[in-house]
Amino acid sequence: MTKAKSRAATSHKHVEEEGVSAGDRWIRVSREHLVATLRALQAEGYKSLLFMSAVDHLATPVRPSPPERFELIYQLRNLDTREELRVRVWVPEDDPVAPTASEIYAPAGWDERETWDMFGIRFDGHKDLVRILMPEDWEGHPLRRDFPVGGETVDFSEDHEVWQTAPEEA
């Protein structure tokens, strides 16, 4: 495989940005060009979707704000060259929607359901976008950084005789 051929993915016309992070090549495309980019990459040999997930980049005083709150990440592998490529897509907080990739990479359907369940990002065209981890009546999306982290008060007894079997009875 020539170097020019292996770099075909990053020369795609919809690539807005590209880079290498911790040895992993990545490209960024707009959500409007996601499907076209994934189809082109599949035709170029990236036939395997290893995983798809999301990141919540909620701005805090410690972390400056990125262009958008959410980022989708698709990790692809070219089975012939064993190269991997990460496709990154910004998704705005006020319109958390992206096109489904499940018609290009069938396993994306499961990852999209999990991303919907945990982050609240919808996928247009997904045939069964329902909760996959949380109960159906759950309110909110627990991996969002602004999801309230709480707990339930558990009353513990200091009287061990109440809940523990006496040694002579065990």
Residue 12 has pLDDT above 80, yes or no: no
**C-beta of residue 35 within 8 angstroms of C-beta of residue 101:** yes
Q: What is the rounded distance in angstroms from the CA atom of residue 62 to the CA atom of residue 65?
A: 10
pLDDT band at 8 (very low <50, low <70, confident <90, very high): low
CATH number of 3-149: 2.40.50.1020, 3.90.550.40, 3.30.460.80, 3.40.50.2000? 3.30.460.80
**C-beta of residue 75 within 8 angstroms of C-beta of residue 56:** no
In this structure, of 4-13, 52-61, 84-93, the range with the lowest mean pLDDT score is 4-13
pLDDT band at 124 (very low <50, low <70, confident <90, very high): very high
Domain boundaries, the chain: 3-149
